[in-house]
Amino acid sequence: MLSVSLGACSSKEASEPRSPYYSDIVTASRTADSDFEREVLSDGEVTRSEYEESVARYVKCANGQGVTINPVKQGDLYTYELGAGASAEKVADECSVGTTQKIEAFYGALVQNPTKGDMMQLIAACLSSSGLAPKGYDKAAFTADSESGSFPFDAEDPRFGECHLDPASH
């Protein structure tokens, strides 16, 4: 007698399409620098809580070596203020390996560019939709303006930085 067992797809697998970064993230898990990083990346996604945990591990690693790292929230991501000390940058670089280095890059891509679109076009569209750049401002104009360093708007305006940090939000 032959018995066949059919596995059912979970409702999540059936209803939610995978991110366009899925295969890149899974591939990165194979070269992970820590068990934590491998575990986070192995399912092909990076959640907010996994990102937060990677930042906490990064800070703890640096603190354990006498270096203070202060995460500063910038949109959905963090920038980092390093404490003083000759070895601070070296410790920060070393501690990022296996904690934030790969995880933060993928989480940033997922929140800043969830469709894996052309970043220059996304930034240009964000600048236009935010009202900073003229209507119809596009990738070609943004590229030319970036190369010349001359924009048809105030590049010191906070919307400029916001569009660079999170172009998908506008």
Structure confidence by residue, pLDDT tens digits, 92-109: 999 999 999 999 999 999
Q: What is the pLDDT of residues 55-101, one digit of tens each?
A: 999 999 999 999 999 999 988 899 999 988 889 999 999 999 999 99
Mean pLDDT (whole number) for 134-145: 96
Q: Of all residues in the chain, what percent carry a pLDDT higher than 90?
A: 76
**Nearest CA to 137 among 127, 151, 148?**
127
Q: What is the pLDDT of residue 15?
A: 57
Only one residue has tokens 């354990």, namely: 64
Q: What is the pLDDT of residues 107-120, one digit of tens each?
A: 999 998 989 999 99
Name the least confident of 38-42, 45-49, 94-98, 117-121. 117-121
Mean pLDDT (whole number) for 21-35: 97
Which two structure tokens, joined as six digits, stand for 129? 């939709």
Q: What is the pLDDT of residue 11?
A: 44
In angstroms, what CA-CA distances link 102 with 27, 28, 98, 140?
Answer: 11, 8, 8, 30
Q: What is the pLDDT of residue 3?
A: 40
Is residue 14 very low, low, confident or very high in pLDDT (cuts 50, 70, 90)? low
Q: Of all residues in the chain, what percent carry a pLDDT higher than 70?
A: 89
Q: What is the pLDDT of residue 160?
A: 94
CA angle 117, 121, 127 (to 5 degrees): 125
Q: What is the pLDDT of residue 162?
A: 87
pTM of the model: 0.77
The burial of 126, by beta-carbon neighbours within 10 Å (0-12 exposed, 13-18 middle, 19 or more buried), is given as buried
CA–CA separation, 135 vs 155, rounded Å? 16
Q: What is the pLDDT of residue 73?
A: 92
Sign (positive/negative) of CA torsion 13, 17, 18, 19? Answer: negative
